[in-house]
Amino acid sequence: MAIEIQLHEDTKLQSVEAGYASVEAYLHSLLQRDQKRLACLKGIQDVESGNARPFDEFDHEFKQKHGIKLER
């Protein structure tokens, strides 16, 4: 899906200075980074609200589900 957006003239310079070959590559990188940031924020909010479980519990269930030998 292509979206055409008018950007400030300095945007191309900013993307090149950041090490990207194009404005599109720069914007793609920014969007990916923001998605990761939002996922981390959601995880933090889940933990703070008590919507999480101990890692050991998850690890045990995951290993059983995937046939991985359980450690003693």
The predicted structure's pLDDT at residue 64: 94
Measured CA distances, 70 to 52, 53, 54, 55 (Å): 22, 19, 17, 14
Sequence-ordered alpha helix ranges (H) in the chain: 10-17, 23-48, 55-65
The predicted structure's pLDDT at residue 32: 98
> 4-13, 49-58, 62-71 — which is least confidently predicted?
4-13
The model's pLDDT over 18-64, given as tens digits with 9 standing for 90+, comes to 999 999 999 999 999 999 999 999 999 999 999 999 999 999 999 99
